Amino acid sequence: MTSFPERRLRRLRATPALRRLVAESDLAPRHLVLPVFVREGIDAAQPIASMPGVSQRPLDALPAVVEEAAAAGIGGIMLFGVPARRDAVGSGATDPEGILNRAIAVAAEAAAGRLTVQADLCLDEFTDHGHCGVLAADGSVDNDATLEIYARMAVAQADAGADILGLSGMMDGQVAVVRRALDAAGHARVAILAYAAKYASAFYGPFRDAVESTLQGDRRTYQLDPANGREGLQEALVDADEGADIVMVKPAGPYLDVLARVAEASPVPVWAYQVSGEYSLVEHAAAAGLIDRDRAIGETLVGIRRAGAETILTYWAIEVAQRLRAGESLT
């Protein structure tokens, strides 16, 4: 005969209402942020072949994206710029008329405080070599020279109206430098989201298509080694000490153990980025009939929440929010 404790556990799974009542982890629209690619020089959405259902957007289409996101009740959008021209120092990143800064201004006006406007603060989309910083004579990334540009980029994004700056370049000292620059420019209200535990991952491949990356080589000298978990926690704690308002683990799915460690120890909110490769794996597998798409989406997101993420950047943000608002179960 089945023992009492085993029967008790089964009883709590008996109906959808019971399962919902005792669920340890939940997911709501406010927990989701939508990454958006805004490309200079196009007049219609351009589908990204490696990311089914995701497109580069023209600037004049951005208000409609913001409106849909706000109506779905999600927490924010994260903007990425795809410029028409690039150079060795990423000049477009600090230009007030650069595509990303223009997109921030358009999104902020359209949002009108209904959701947060977030912006990627990194040079990789703007440099002709595709690295996250400027290069030294020997071809390595010059950390300190890059920080000087990040400071100017931060002020430009704040001037444009960003609520949160996503520092994704993994330069040492970037949080402290950006915080000082923002405060000195009168932008103390602007929050810093530090991509604190950002791993050198194969799962970024489709994203590089989305931003038309020119990278040759890799970023292993400044992004984290996938073999190291403690290092991710250390990076997150350093960024929090430097003044980050939020820290993030990226990618999410392959690094749930790191996410759990950071969530347990962090003094500030912890987010996770469900990256392009995670998204595309599910979409392509579902298209091949190998998995139940809707359940797989829900399971991955609930798993990220269960590991400790308070907010998730995901390309499914609006779709999932709409499903949740319709009362649909994700799992």
Per-residue pLDDT tens over the stretch 223-234: 999 999 999 999
* Separation of alpha carbons 300 and 64, rounded Å: 28
CB neighbour class for 229 (10 Å; exposed up to 12, middle 13-18, buried from 19): middle
CB neighbour class for 165 (10 Å; exposed up to 12, middle 13-18, buried from 19): buried
Share of the chain above pLDDT 90, in %: 85
Collapsed DSSP state (helix, strand, coil) of residue 243: coil
pLDDT of 3 reads: 56
Is residue 295 one of the residues assigned to a domain?
yes
pLDDT of 17 reads: 85
pLDDT of 198 reads: 96
- pLDDT category of residue 13 using cuts at 50, 70 and 90: confident
Region 304-310: what's the mean pLDDT?
Answer: 98
* Separation of alpha carbons 275 and 279, rounded Å: 6
Is residue 13 one of the residues assigned to a domain?
no
Angle between helices 276-287 and 293-307 (to 10 degrees): 150
pLDDT of 11 reads: 80
Tell me which residue has tokens 């008996």: 14
CA dist list (Å): 28 to 72, 274, 301, 312, 331: 11, 16, 11, 11, 13
Q: What tens digit of pLDDT does each residue of 96-151 get?
A: 999 999 999 999 999 999 999 999 999 999 999 989 999 999 999 999 999 999 99
CA 79, 83, 86: angle at the middle one, nearest 5? 130
Q: What tens digit of pLDDT does each residue of 143-182 get?
A: 999 999 999 999 999 999 999 999 999 999 999 999 999 9
Q: Which among 167, 207, 214 is positioned nearest to 190, based on CA atoms?
A: 167
Number of domains in the chain: 1
- pLDDT category of residue 242 using cuts at 50, 70 and 90: very high
* Separation of alpha carbons 330 and 323, rounded Å: 8
* Separation of alpha carbons 302 and 307, rounded Å: 9
CB neighbour class for 251 (10 Å; exposed up to 12, middle 13-18, buried from 19): buried
Is residue 318 one of the residues assigned to a domain?
yes
What is the rounded average pLDDT for all residues in the chain?
95
Q: What tens digit of pLDDT does each residue of 40-50 get?
A: 999 999 999 99
Is residue 149 one of the residues assigned to a domain?
yes
Residues with catalytic roles: 198, 250
Region 303-311: what's the mean pLDDT?
Answer: 98
Task: Write down the number of H helices and E strands in the chain.
Answer: 12, 10
- pLDDT category of residue 5 using cuts at 50, 70 and 90: low
The tally of CA atoms less than 13 A away on the side-chain side of residue 80 is: 22
DSSP alpha helix (H) spans, 1-98? 4-11, 16-22, 62-72
Decide if pLDDT at 4 tops 80: no
CATH at 152: 3.20.20.70
Transcribe 199-217 into DSSP letters.
B--GGGHHHHHHTT----S
Domain that holds residue 179: 27-325
Region 287-308: what's the mean pLDDT?
Answer: 98
CA 134, 137, 140: angle at the middle one, nearest 5? 55
Decide if pLDDT at 272 tops 70: yes
Q: Could you tell me if 301 and 273 are in contact, meaning their C-beta atoms sit under 8 angstroms apart? A: no
Decide if pLDDT at 1 tops 70: no
Is residue 166 one of the residues assigned to a domain?
yes
pLDDT of 79 reads: 98
Region 16-39: what's the mean pLDDT?
Answer: 91
Please state which of the ranges 221-225, 297-301, 305-309 shows the lowest mean pLDDT.
Answer: 221-225
Region 272-278: what's the mean pLDDT?
Answer: 97
pLDDT of 16 reads: 85
Transcribe 123-171 into DSSP letters.
STTTBSS--SS-B-TTSSB-HHHHHHHHHHHHHHHHHHT-SEEEE-S--
Q: What is the pTM of this model?
A: 0.94
Decide if pLDDT at 331 tops 70: yes
Q: Is the peptide bond before 29 cis (omega within 30 degrees of 0)?
A: no
Q: Which tokens go with 266?
A: 């962090």
Collapsed DSSP state (helix, strand, coil) of residue 26: coil
* Separation of alpha carbons 42 and 60, rounded Å: 10
Is residue 7 one of the residues assigned to a domain?
no
Is residue 2 one of the residues assigned to a domain?
no
pLDDT of 22 reads: 85
* Separation of alpha carbons 29 and 298, rounded Å: 13
pLDDT of 2 reads: 53
Is residue 22 one of the residues assigned to a domain?
no
Tell me which residue has tokens 């109506």: 71
Q: What tens digit of pLDDT does each residue of 198-209 get?
A: 999 999 989 888
Tell me which residue has tokens 């259902």: 53
